[in-house]
Amino acid sequence: MNTKQDRETAGQDHSQTNQSLHQNQGGGMKILKDRLAKLKTISLKSGSHSPDSTFCVMEAVAWVAGEVWSDHPSCACHVIGAFLRSWNDSLPTDEDRDRLLKPLIPKLVGTKSTKKIEQYRAVMAADWFIREHLPAWLDLAGLTEQAKQVRSFPEITDFAQCPSIQPALEAIRKDAAAAWAAAWAAAWAAAWLNPTVSRLQLSAIKLVKRMIALKAADELEGALAKRVREQSTQSER
């Protein structure tokens, strides 16, 4: 439960200087150490909020970084922020938000980077949605062949690749519309929904951590070169 004292503490002027700081692992940004400790006692909530002790994941990032109240903290990558705001609000319970998203909060401070890095993070998110998230739900709807087809797409490393897979995705969308309508009610009632959700949650955590890890242009060039080599090797087999 959030007490009046909690709300007063969290709602203090966010521009004040805090003497208890520690270096964030992601770079030069600082984290307010006592706020990070306080956050352990507060559950994350769905939606956006006024300055008090109620936070979504990105409001919590702004708060521990000492920024003005916002769910778009200037210290964090806009792409990762958009991904996490959506995920935060789609999770069914506060317990899920605390378990999955709260450990990411200190890692997100200092993730803002160049346009080139953030563009590639967006590409990484698109690749995850298409080649991991989508086929998991296709499998659940019984469209195993379509799921297999999507998983066989080459990794998306540039948005220029998207037009080439659009016709296949459109055909799959039409197949899925009818099949999923029939399967949806049964899926929500069935225990076999949970393993799919759990796998996707773990996969999404890994995606966010990979996006966070990409911090410099030379790392981006290295990552792109590695993926080109891997795809070349696979095509030769």
The set of residues, in sequence order, having a beta carbon less than 8 Å from that of 121 and lying 6+ positions away, is 77, 79, 80, 211, 214
3-state secondary structure of 93: coil
Does the structure show a pLDDT above 70 at 232?
no
Report pLDDT digits (tens) over 42-81: 999 999 888 877 899 999 999 999 999 999 999 999 999 9
Q: What percent of the chain has pLDDT above 90?
A: 57
Domain boundaries, the chain: 4-108, 115-236
pTM of the model: 0.78
Helices (H) then strands (E): counts for the chain: 12, 2
Decide if pLDDT at 93 tops 90: yes
Question: Is the predicted pLDDT of residue 2 greater than 50, yes or no?
Answer: no
212/90 Cα distance (integer angstroms) = 21
Quick: pLDDT tens for 24-41.
444 456 899 999 999 999
Q: pLDDT for 96-152, tens place per residue?
A: 999 999 999 999 999 999 999 999 999 999 999 999 999 998 888 888 999 999 999
Q: At 176, is the pLDDT very low, low, confident or very high (cuts 50, 70, 90)?
A: confident
| Neighbour count for residue 144 (Cβ, 10 Å) | 12
| CA distance linking residue 117 with residue 174, whole number of Å | 34
Instruction: Find out whether 132 and 200 touch, Cβ atoms under 8 Å.
Output: yes
Which CA distances in Å does 152 have to 146, 156, 202?
A: 10, 11, 21
